[in-house]
Amino acid sequence: MKEKRLICAVVITVVMLSLTPFAQAQREPDRTGRFALGAGLGPHFDTSDGTAFALAFYGDYYLTHGFSVGPLLQMGFTADLFQFGLTAQAKYTFDLADFPKLKPHVQGGIGIIYADLDRSGRRDEDDTSFLIPLGGGVEYKLSDSVSLETTFLVNLTDLDVRNDNVFYTWLIGVKFPL
């Protein structure tokens, strides 16, 4: 399990470092002091009950043009599993000079997660733990008022529900700057 965490941390670090040279001077209005809301859906891979349907909501408040903070709510559902995670996230969004509508980002956060696994004929399991989502993604600006976004997260936990400590989330959704 520690090997998976180390590999994920190395991959995220390499992606962050490889994107940094491509980030150029801003070509759009300054985002500082603005707020954006987003929602996404997709799969939670490798949960306590296999692959789950994921639903997420988040908010970004830009402290600088590229750096934002805000909440991330992740929920996961299967026939037997319900997961609910709430974290405070920090996100850095890059501006690419050659592709002004494409905005890669990296993010990380910390919070809590609750998981409830109901197995028919067996003992129900539930637990609450810390949640550390790390990852990145890409935003594509369709207009000044809406963007499409995809994000991949590696979620580290210490849940005692079938002893799974890492699950992965891939979200596809929309983002609305306010």
- Whether residue 26 has pLDDT greater than 70: no
Q: 25 or 121: whose pLDDT is higher? A: 121
- How much is the pLDDT for 153? 96
Which residues, including other chains, have CB under 8 Å from residue 104's CB and lie 6 or more apart?
19, 93, 94, 96, 136, 137, 138, 139
Q: In which element (H, E) is residue 43 found?
A: strand 35-47
Q: How confident is the model at residue 25 (pLDDT cuts 50, 70, 90)?
A: very low
What is the rounded CA–CA span in Å between residue 5 and residue 154?
Answer: 9
Percent over 70 (pLDDT), the chain: 79
The fold of 2-177 is: Porin (2.40.160)
Closest by CA position to 107, among listed 67, 76, 143, 156 = 67
- Whether residue 22 has pLDDT greater than 50: no
Q: How confident is the model at residue 23 (pLDDT cuts 50, 70, 90)?
A: very low
What's the rounded mean pLDDT across residues 130-143? 95
pLDDT tens per residue, range 55-96? 999 999 999 999 999 999 999 999 888 999 999 999 999 988
Q: Would you call 4 helix, strand, or coil by DSSP?
A: helix
CA distance readout (Å), 88 to 43, 58, 83, 98: 21, 10, 17, 31
Q: How confident is the model at residue 24 (pLDDT cuts 50, 70, 90)?
A: very low
Q: How crowded is the C-beta side of 78, counted as CA atoms within 13 Å?
A: 17
What is the rounded CA–CA span in Å between residue 33 and residue 63?
Answer: 6
What is the model's pTM?
0.81
